[in-house]
């Protein structure tokens, strides 16, 4: 596995669901990139025993963690502890690209 990853080489779009790519994965951690086109949604869900974060690279989206929701853009970090429901919707007019991490790895 190459330890040097160019994020732009792993972004894209898909229909009807959002685009996902795994950047790296070990037994302890998974890092990936999620790209949501305007209007696309990653439904609210949870991961048993796995913490998750999103870091917004570009675009704007409505992030839900538990009972809270906020519209956030580039530079924001969103943290979803294990077993807490979370999701995201692209509410902007451009692609929403987020770096995503989960530990332990699924």
Structural domain containing residue 87? 24-103
In this structure, the chain runs to a length of 106
Is residue 13 assigned to a domain? Answer: no
Task: Provide the 10 A C-beta neighbour count for residue 81.
Answer: 14
Query: Which of 3-17, 25-39, 46-60 shows the lowest per-residue confidence on average (mean pLDDT)?
Result: 3-17
Give Cβ neighbours of residue 15 (< 8 Å, ≥ 6 apart): none
Tens of pLDDT, residue by residue over 15-46, are 889 999 999 999 999 999 999 999 999 999 99
49 contacts: CB under 8 Å, gap ≥ 6: 82, 83, 104
Number of domains in the chain: 1
Name the burial class of residue 51, with classes exposed (0-12), middle (13-18) and buried (19+) by CB atoms within 10 angstroms of its CB: middle
Q: Is residue 5 part of a domain?
A: no
The reply to whether 10 falls in a domain is no
Q: Does 8 map to a domain?
A: no
pLDDT band at 1 (very low <50, low <70, confident <90, very high): confident
- Residue 88, domain member (yes or no): yes
Does some domain include residue 11?
no
Q: How far is the C-alpha of 15 from the C-alpha of 82, rounded, in Å?
A: 28
Model pTM score:
0.93
Residue 2 clears pLDDT 90, i.e. is over it? no
Which pLDDT score is estimated for 71? 98
- Write the CATH number for 47: 2.60.120.10
Q: Which residues contact 65 (CB under 8 A, 6 or more apart)?
A: 78, 79, 80, 84, 85, 86
Q: What is the pLDDT of residues 60-86, one digit of tens each?
A: 999 999 999 999 999 999 999 999 999
């Amino acid at each position: 596995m190459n330890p040097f990853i160019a994020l732009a080489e792993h972004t894209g779009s898909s229909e009807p669901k959002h685009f996902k790519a795994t950047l790296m994965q070990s037994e302890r951690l998974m890092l990936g990139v999620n790209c949501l086109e305007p209007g696309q949604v990653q439904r609210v869900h949870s991961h048993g025993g796995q913490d998750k974060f999103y870091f917004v690279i570009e675009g704007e989206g409505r992030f839900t963690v538990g009972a809270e929701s906020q519209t956030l853009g580039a530079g924001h970090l969103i943290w979803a502890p294990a077993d807490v429901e979370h999701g995201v919707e692209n509410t902007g007019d451009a692609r929403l690209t987020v770096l995503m991490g989960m530990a332990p790895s699924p």
